[in-house]
């Protein structure tokens, strides 16, 4: 992803090479090109507008540093602005002072939550944590089974409702909020230090799903609510991200399907609209196709 955006920006900046001083017209022309490149990469219009305005203001206002030519100065500004939107410094997981740390996953159906749950569990286990996966997606047929398969592959246990078996919060009723609560209680009892709660999504945003996610959040008071979003959804990313941020409240973003031919715009749009950092990237269907997201490296890749 970002290949074509990267190519476009590189050729834009090439035109500035060798210029001793940039006129306002040079800056206008460059900013226009950046605008087009971002729009073509599927970055949301509102995000592009704010981004180029900021770049232009800084390009016109900043003293050119002695060590950089004006072209390099613009590249530096664009780089810093990209890093800023993507969340600044690499954001580490917020661990609870008193275990267990509760991580809730939210997002549309098909975004890749259940897959990510397995990846995150495997990653955390490799770091020495003792995660428990909790299957609260009772909407999608097979989601519980899929999580159990992922848990087995990751070597991480899965808490799932057992029909007919009653528990403290009666998870057996099939109420995802009760399952979430039971799962966290199980983690405490069995001394797991991290709980990853997989939740249900729908194909589009709907009130019932948002309410359910908000209720799960209220019930388990997570340390992180990770909004999982398919990078391929392009312009729709903005509305979806906004709805989840408003309806559930998110603390971080996970981008999935970055192995596809997504043009990358969703990454910038979602991070900008939510104001929340991108923390992880999912790059395939296998549990190891998982990366910690580094905003500075991603910005460098875009501007390479």
- The nearest distance, CB 51 to ligand GDP, in angstroms, is 26
What is the closest distance, in whole angstroms, from the C-beta atom of residue 155 to ligand GDP in the complex? 18
Q: How many CB atoms lie within 10 A of CB 188?
A: 14
User: Does position 26 bind ligand GDP by CB under 6 A?
Assistant: no
Helix (H) or strand (E) holding 154: helix 143-154
> By C-beta, is 51 or 227 nearer to ligand GDP?
227
Q: According to the annotation, is 257 in a ligand binding site?
A: yes
Q: Which member of 70, 71, 112, 277 binds ligand GDP (CB under 6 A)?
A: 112
Q: Is 90 annotated as belonging to a binding site?
A: no
Of the listed pieces 103-111, 180-188, 263-271, 272-280, which binds ligand GDP according to CB under 6 A?
A: 103-111
Which of 91, 283, 294, 302 touches ligand GDP by CB under 6 A? 283
Q: Is 201 in the site for ligand GDP (CB under 6 A)?
A: yes
CB of 255 to ligand GDP, least distance (A): 8
285 belongs to the binding site for ligand GDP (CB under 6 A): yes
Could you tell me which stretch among 54-62, 157-165, 207-215, 283-291 binds ligand GDP (CB under 6 A)? 283-291
Pairing of strands 290-292, 278-282: antiparallel
**Is there binding between residue 109 and ligand GDP (CB under 6 A)?**
yes
* 240 counts as binding ligand GDP under rule CB under 6 A: no
**d(Cα 269, Cα 249) in Å, to the nearest integer?**
17
Q: Minimal distance in Å, beta carbon 166 to ligand GDP?
A: 27
Q: Is 234 in the site for ligand GDP (CB under 6 A)?
A: no
Q: Measure Cα distances from 178 to 109, 127, 136, 138, 219 in Å.
A: 21, 29, 9, 11, 8
Residue 30 or 199 with smaller CB distance to ligand GDP: 199
Q: 3-state SS of the chain: helix, strand, coil percent to 5?
A: 50, 15, 35
User: What is the sign of the dihedral through the CA atoms of 89, 91, 92 and 95?
Assistant: positive
Q: Does 272 bind ligand GDP (CB under 6 A)?
A: no
3-state SS class at 279 = strand
Residue with tokens 């490799």: 126
Alpha carbons within 13 A on the beta-carbon side of 283: 11
Per CB under 6 A, 113 contacts ligand GDP: yes
Interface pick for ligand GDP out of 30, 73, 101, 115 (rule CB under 6 A) = 115
C-alpha to C-alpha distance for 54 and 153, rounded to whole angstroms: 46
Cα 67 to Cα 56: distance, rounded to the nearest angstrom = 20
- Say if residue 110 carries a ligand binding annotation: yes
Q: Is 40 in the site for ligand GDP (CB under 6 A)?
A: no
**How would DSSP label each residue in 91-132?**
PPP---SSSPEEEEEE--TTSSHHHHHHHHHHHHHHTT--EE
Nearer to ligand GDP, 55 or 108 (CB): 108
**3-state class of 227 per DSSP?**
strand
State the nearest-atom distance from the C-beta of 117 to ligand GDP, in Å: 8
Q: Which residues contribute to the site for ligand GDP (CB under 6 A)?
A: 107, 109-115, 140, 201, 256-257, 259-260, 282-285, 289
Per the annotation, binding residues for GTP are 107-114, 198-202, 256-259
């Amino acid at each position: 992803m970002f290949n074509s955006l990267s190519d476009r920006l590189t050729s834009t900046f090439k035109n500035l090479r060798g210029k001793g001083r940039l006129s306002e017209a040079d800056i206008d022309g460059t900013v226009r090109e950046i605008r087009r490149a971002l729009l073509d990469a599927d970055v949301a219009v509102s995000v592009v507008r704010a981004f180029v305005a900021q770049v232009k203001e800084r390009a016109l206002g900043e003293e050119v540093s002695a060590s950089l030519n004006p072209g390099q100065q613009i590249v530096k500004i664009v780089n810093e602005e990209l890093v800023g939107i993507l969340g600044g410094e690499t954001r580490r997981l917020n661990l609870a002072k008193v275990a267990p740390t509760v991580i809730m996953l939210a997002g549309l159906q098909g975004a890749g939550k259940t897959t990510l749950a397995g990846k995150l569990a495997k990653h955390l286990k490799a770091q020495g944590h003792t995660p428990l996966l909790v299957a609260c997606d009772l909407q999608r047929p097979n989601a519980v089974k899929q999580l159990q398969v992922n848990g087995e592959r990751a070597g991480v246990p899965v808490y799932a409702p057992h029909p007919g078996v009653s528990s403290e919060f009666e998870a057996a009723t099939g109420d995802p909020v009760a399952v979430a609560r039971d799962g966290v209680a199980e983690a405490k009892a069995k001394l797991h230090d991290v709980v990853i709660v997989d939740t249900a999504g729908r194909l589009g945003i709907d009130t019932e799903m948002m309410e359910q996610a908000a209720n799960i959040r209220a019930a388990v008071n997570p340390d992180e609510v990770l909004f999982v979003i398919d990078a391929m959804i392009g312009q729709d990313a903005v509305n979806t991200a906004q709805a989840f941020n408003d309806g559930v409240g998110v603390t971080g973003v996970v981008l999935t399907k970055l192995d596809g031919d997504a043009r990358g715009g969703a990454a910038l749009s979602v991070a900008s609209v939510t104001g929340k950092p991108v923390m992880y990237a999912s790059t395939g269907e296998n549990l190891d196709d998982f990366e910690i997201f580094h905003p500075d490296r991603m910005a460098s890749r875009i501007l390479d």
